Amino acid sequence: MSSLSSSESEEEDERIESYRKGGYHAVRIGDSFADGRYIAQRKLGWGQFSTVWLAYDTKTSNYVALKIHKSAPEFTQAGLHEVGLLSAIAEGDPTNSKHVVRLIDHFKHAGPNGQHLCMVNEFLGESLLRLIKFNRYKCLELDKVREICKCILIGLDYLHRQLGIIHTDLKPENVLLMSTIDPSKDPIRSGLTPILEKPEGNPNDRTTTNIIEKKLKRMARKAVTKIAERRASIGVVRPTVKPDRCLNGINVRCKIVDFGNACFADNPLSEEIQTREYRSPEVILRSGYSFSADMWSFACLAFELATGEIMFNPKKGQDYVEDEDHLALMMELLGKMPKKIAISGALSKDYFDRHGDLKRIRRLKNMSLDEVLVRKYKFSETDAKEFAEFLCPLLDFAPEKRPTAHKCLQHTWLNIGTQIKDEVKNE
């Protein structure tokens, strides 16, 4: 386990070079889409496939998130796949209460770089990764973790049981809060007046100018921090201690997003799914996967929320690859993988010998999950025991033994706070 999160490497902006034929569509504030129905207000984020903009829907007078895909055929195809899944998701949840992002509309937009598939989704707040960063990678209050877990489990239960969909890429970036951390970022709470036409003097290529300006500012900030650190290290000034941030007022209800890689369980798209840190052992070993692969990722995500650190952060070594390190980290925390499971996958022979031991990583440092929680993260014995009892079954090496989202929702750990609150109320 490392003290660094993968998010340390998260880049703030999409690459300028990707604004070309087949790539992103350059958007200027005030640009209109779908025959004038949606007007771009500001950029919300971006991904490998798209840029996402806050837009004003002039038909319903609501703010929405406009996701504009890159224009090359493979991105359009992936986008249409996502539209198909999101349409099924919206159809099955008429009251929009299942904690999955809501698709409002989709259309094509022609621009200088080609035809871009655009998806209009409900506007949501920051991702859980942002929340973890905002909390400075510290342990998040367990009541907040419980509330987030409940939302995600309701979403997963709906996807798995009612629709037969596996998300396949559950991670902090792909769960968004339903309201913003910073109230000034919420167009309604901040009383924003929608921009309905292009502001005067709008430069021709605002996207590029913005990215360059932001890059320069970031470089300047980094240089200032470096000088301050150096001054502190040679004793010129004392380093300042930042007071902890308070998360009390933040509403942590959230929704699952990004169905770009999701699939129906009876029609899996690819053998290699999930982002590295959240990848399940059956996917690493190519033993086949189902809904329970999402449950593994869910457990990794819950751990990360509660501790601020990634649960499994494998690195390749001189004589072993990342996969083998990943399997070693899993066994250090969860015990030895049963031989039958270890040797069952198409890639098992790459990492395990015939006794079911790892080929290149021989000495494992075992420490159980509740010990880690107490020693490394300073959990109380009771908190550690209760949280480990919730997580461990989800991290069973045998996928079919992991509890389903439905079963998990009935776990006592999710209601610990409420029980106490109810008891206090009844006294």
3-state secondary structure of 287: coil
DSSP assignment of 166-194, as one string? E----SGGGEEESS-SSGGG-TTTTTPPP
Does the protein bind ligand ADP through residue 50 (CB under 6 A)? yes
Quick one: which of 122, 126, 157, 258 contacts Mg ion (CB under 5 A)?
Answer: 258
Helix axes 416-426, 142-157, angle to 10 degrees: 120
Q: By CB under 6 A, is residue 5 in contact with ligand ADP?
A: no
Residue placing its CB nearer to ligand ADP in the complex, 81 or 336? 81
Tokens of 189: 């709470």
The smaller minimum CB distance to ligand ADP, of residues 47 and 92, is found at 47
User: Binding ligand ADP by CB under 6 A: which of 30, 47, 111, 164?
Assistant: 47
- Point out the catalytic residue in the list 31, 57, 157, 169: 169
Among 24, 46, 312, 379, which residue sits at the site for ligand ADP (rule: CB under 6 A)?
A: 46
How many residues sit in the footprint of ligand ADP (CB under 6 A)?
A: 21
Q: Measured from the CB atom, is 46 or 351 closer to ligand ADP?
A: 46
| Cβ-based neighbour number of residue 286 at 10 Å | 15
Q: Which helix (H) or strand (E) holds 421?
A: helix 416-426
State which of residues 71, 121, 179, 348 lies at the interface with ligand ADP (CB under 6 A): 121
Per CB under 5 A, the segment of 6-14, 250-258, 304-312, 346-354 that binds Mg ion is 250-258
By CB under 6 A, the residues from 331 to 370 that bind ligand ADP are none
Residue nearest to Mg ion (CB): 47
82 binds Mg ion (CB under 5 A): no
For 423, what's the count of Cα atoms within 13 Å in the CB-facing half-sphere? 5
Cβ closest to Mg ion, residue 44 vs residue 252:
44
> Cβ distance 318 to 379 under 8 Å?
no
CA 257, CA 353: separation in Å to the nearest integer?
A: 39
Q: By rule CB under 6 A, what string of x and - marks binding of each residue 233-262 to ligand ADP?
A: ------------------------xx-x--
Nearer to ligand ADP by Cβ, of 77 and 225: the residue is 77
Q: Is 7 helix (H, G, I), strand (E, B) or coil?
A: helix
Q: Is 169 one of the catalytic residues?
A: yes
Q: Which of 26, 27, 39, 65 binds ligand ADP (CB under 6 A)?
A: 65
Sole window of 12-20, 122-130, 348-356, 401-409 interacting with ligand ADP (rule: CB under 6 A): 122-130
Sheet holding 50-57, edge to edge: 32-33, 38-46, 50-57, 62-69, 114-122, 103-111
The secondary structure of 241-280 as a DSSP string is PPPPPP-TT----EEE---TT-EETTS---SS-S-GGG--
CA–chain centroid gap for 113, Å, is: 29
Q: Residue 121 binds what, of Mg ion, ligand ADP, none (CB under 5 to 8 Å, by partner type)?
A: ligand ADP
The upper half-sphere exposure of residue 362, i.e. CA atoms within 13 Å in the direction of its Cβ, equals 2
- 381-391 and 292-307 helices cross at what angle (nearest 10)? 160
Catalytic residues: 169
Residue numbers at the binding site for Mg ion (CB under 5 A): 47, 258
Binding residues vs ligand ADP (CB under 6 A) = 44-50, 52, 65, 67, 101, 121-124, 127, 173, 176, 257-258, 260
